[in-house]
Chain A
Amino acid sequence: MDLTFTDHERAFQTEVRDFLATNLPAHITAAVRAGVELPREIYQEWHELLGRKGWLGATWPREYGGPGWTPVERYIFDVECSRANAPRVVAFGPHMLGPVIIEFGNDRQKAEILPRILSGEDWWAQGYSEPGAGSDLASLRTRADRDGDHYILNGQKTWTTLGQHANRIFCLVRTTQGGKPQEGISFVLADIDTPGIEVRPIRLIEGGHEVNEVFFDNVRVPVDNLVGEENKGWTIAKFLLTHERTNIAGVGISMQALDELKALARRMRRKGRPLIEDPLFAARIARVETDLEAMKITNLRMLFRAQKQGHPGPETSILKIKGTLVNQELRDLARRALGPLAAPFPGSVGETNLMFGPENSETNAATYFNNRKTSIFGGSNEIQRNILTKTMLGL
């Protein structure tokens, strides 16, 4: 038993820390700290920064332009980025499509697609969920009918995160009707500006524009845009559901949220003392801090196992569930710490120099509401429990 990082890993941690301290611009960290919706340019700047350093395709092997990191190095990188208030990497190109192309793509696709992800030229969106296919993804109905060298796409995708910024989209579509729902699905790429594709915003609970609906009306896509075999798209979907999920707990994000919560609870007062010394409130902080402390070790144990086996196991679903519960509890406490100061609707105040609470607190309630999504997306926590039932319980 040894919970410490190796000398090499510690040196890597220092390298990441130094890189972020030197290269991450203040206007980016300020925007992340403020908790506001980030504009496309900030993501773009961040991606290009990482791309130039060779750190964008974090899970890619060296031969494809990735850094060739171990699971532990990827974990360290993620934690350090969160601690430095870096934006998250928009996962769809670098963390999702990239690994899919490396695993299932042909040589032409590898040569064309991978460099454009790393350079930031392409912003990919994910076309998975549909209005009638959420947790039951395999019931998707968007169809791709063969017409010579083209597929004709018809249907609707939804929850397409940051699709308003994307120029390309990867989709799960039905190429064969009938049979088992998982059969007859294919993985197809499309340019967003193809005639017949329309992206419409969905306004979320807190008022923000983060997700979209994407409509396909007789969209002609070259058959060359098929990834892997026709009708074998479910294999790719499953690959993505289990691929590189060892950092899914968001340990760094929650560590950062805990620090911010404690600072806020030191600043706010209740009954003549700092809120953090109020027994009821402190008890809730202490409970979630304890859960986070345990989750860090749970995460490291799974990294250790992934490193030994060469791949993460199904137990990473535990990280998804626990990680979202811990993070949501932290957001709940941060919102409560502000009391009535959490109430103003961001942007509704008009021009004034008045502060309605401590710095960066005006987006607090919005962040709480927005983060209710984390236990729903990427396979809801109930789906994760189904996965664990099959894999870990053997039921």
Chain B
Amino acid sequence: MNFDLTEDRRMLSDTLTRYLADRYAIGDRSRTAYAAPFHDPDRWTELAELGMAGALVPETAGGFGGTGFDIAVLFEALGRALCPEPFLGTLLASRLMLAADADQAQLISGARRFAVGLAEIDAPYDIGHIASTARRTGDGYCLTGRKTAVYGGQAADEFLLVALLDGAPAVFRADAAAVTVVGYGMIDGGGAAEVLMEDSPATLLLDNATAAITGAVTAGRLALCAEAVGAMDAAYAILLDYLKTRKQFGVVIGSFQALQHRTVDLLMEIEQARSITIAAAAALDGPDAALKSAMAKTLIGRAARLVAEETIQIHGGIAMTWDYAASHYAKRLIMLDHQLGDTDHCLDEVMQSYTA
């Protein structure tokens, strides 16, 4: 048993944390996160040069990481800085390409930005529900349908898109130019896109892809959980500082037991969130991966909402303002529950394990 990070991962975390603290101070971050293209292409390239995309990819595929703890360390640092760069799409793409044994050199170098179209608009959490279809053409395929909530899609060079091929889910590659991309910014910063396919040319990456898609979503959930842990840590630190400095009725508000006990409850839930994320990271390449990441995502959906709402409430009005960092952490903590299955959806997946 050892809960210390390895030397390599500590260095990865330190490097990334230093870089993000330097380049994504909260004011800079908000300017980047809320104006098209909702990320910074130059910094994306720098992050890739620092090895951050490669850290998501196993050595067998040309990277130098790819384990649950590599993913967790990286996304925790991203969460702490509210970094809007499109790493979630990169991770999802990397897992699908790994399943297809595809070359990931351009993903690792950052030369090409990938985004993944999984969800469909009328049942966005249900990865088994796919209406988009693929049609064989002479030398390839054409896709028709609409992909929704394609994270990083507003700035992607290439898409991996899920569509039915002969009734079974398959993953296709399509250049951004081959589809219609309707990009948008998100309320918690960063961007996504709707991807419209109208007989759009594509190549097949993987057929009968259900297991690979589940695996990608599992890794994506772990990443979001780790990101939430980083964001919760940061929000909690801001709150603690405020409790020690803000005075009302002639005393610091941290002297009020009504606030102390509620803050302790946040501390406990953050520790529980950290623990379940560790459990999901440790399980990522094993038979319990999907169950543990569903457990993590359902717990973190609850914990993140509590931390977000209580951080605002305990602060008071100041945390309602755009210029105060806690408000941005609160938005991210609430909205990441909307990605890849919310707390109820993931709870239901845990419940399914009871049905023999």
Contacts and interface: CB of A to CB of B under 8 A. Distances in A.
Interface of A: 1-6, 9, 72, 262, 276-277, 279, 282-283, 285-287, 289-291, 293-298, 300-301, 303-305, 315, 318, 321-322, 382, 385-386, 388-389, 392-395
B1 A4 contact: yes
Contacts of A72: 1
A194 to B, nearest CB: 41
Contact of B298 (A282, A290, A395): A290
Interface string B40-77: 00000000000000000000000000000100000000
B3 A1 contact: yes
Given A294-B273, A300-B1, A388-B267, A1 B350 contact: no
A315 B260 CA distance: 15
Contacts of B69: 1
B8 to A, nearest CB: 12
Nearest to B9: A1
Q: Which of A4, A294, A298 has the most CB of B within 10 A?
A: A294
B355 A393 contact: no
B264 A385 contact: yes
Contacts of A295: 272, 275
Contacts of B254: 393, 395
Contacts of A392: 264, 267
The residue in B257, B260, B271, B281 that gathers the most chain A C-beta atoms within 10 A of its C-beta is B271
A290 B243 contact: no
Nearest to A289: B350
Given A290-B350, A297-B276, A1 B264 contact: no
Contacts of A6: 1
Contact of B267 (A279, A289, A393): A393
A283 B347 contact: yes
Contact of B1 (A283, A294, A304): A304
Interface string B243-269: 110000000001101001101110110
A290 B1 contact: no
Given A289-B295, A388-B264, 6 more contacts: A1-B69, A72-B1, A286-B298, A301-B275, A389-B263, A395-B260
A298 B351 contact: no
11 contacts: A1-B282, A3-B279, A294-B279, A297-B278, A318-B267, A321-B268, A386-B257, A389-B260, A389-B263, A389-B264, A393-B254
Nearest to A301: B3
B304 to A, nearest CB: 14
A58 B346 CA distance: 40
B5 interface: yes
A282 B264 contact: no
B261 A385 contact: yes
Interface residues of B, number: 41
Contacts of A4: 1
Contacts of A300: 1, 3
Contacts of B274: 298, 301
A286 B272 contact: no
Interface string B166-194: 00000000000000000000000000000
A295 B276 CA distance: 8
B1 A2 contact: yes
Contacts of A283: 347-348, 351
Nearest to A286: B350
A318 B278 contact: no
Main secondary structure of the interface of B (DSSP, over half): helix
Q: What secondary structure prevails in chain A residues at the interface with B?
A: helix
B4 interface: yes
B336 interface: no
B270 to A, nearest CB: 10
Contact of B295 (A1, A276, A285, A290): A290
Contacts of B255: 395
B2 interface: yes
Given A286-B298, A290-B295, A297-B276, A395 B244 contact: yes
A229 B255 CA distance: 34
A130 B275 CA distance: 38
A73 B338 CA distance: 41
A3 B282 contact: yes
B137 interface: no
Contacts of B4: 1
A3 B1 contact: yes
A293 B271 contact: no
Contact of B347 (A2, A287, A296, A304): A287
A294 B299 contact: yes
Contact of B355 (A277, A291, A297, A301): A277
B347 A294 contact: no
Contact of B279 (A297, A304, A305): A297
A294 B351 contact: no
A1 B281 contact: yes
B261 A382 contact: yes
B267 to A, nearest CB: 6
A297 B275 contact: yes
A282 B348 CA distance: 9
A292 B48 CA distance: 38
Given A294-B279, A385-B261, A393-B254, A322 B3 contact: no
Contact of B354 (A3, A285, A318): A285
B296 to A, nearest CB: 8
A271 to B, nearest CB: 14
Contacts of B351: 279, 282-283, 285-286
Contacts of A305: 3
A293 B277 CA distance: 11
Contact of A287 (B3, B244, B298): B298
B312 to A, nearest CB: 18
A283 B298 CA distance: 11
Contacts of A388: 264, 267-268
A386 B261 CA distance: 7
Given A1-B2, A283-B347, A385-B261, A291 B271 contact: no
Contacts of B261: 382, 385, 389
A389 B273 CA distance: 19
A6 B3 CA distance: 13
B298 A293 contact: no
Contacts of A321: 268
B12 interface: no
Residue picked from A300, A386, A393, most chain B C-beta under 10 Å: A393
A3 B268 contact: no
B269 to A, nearest CB: 9
Nearest to A304: B3
B244 A394 contact: yes
B196 interface: no
A286 B348 CA distance: 8
Contact of B271 (A276, A298, A303): A298
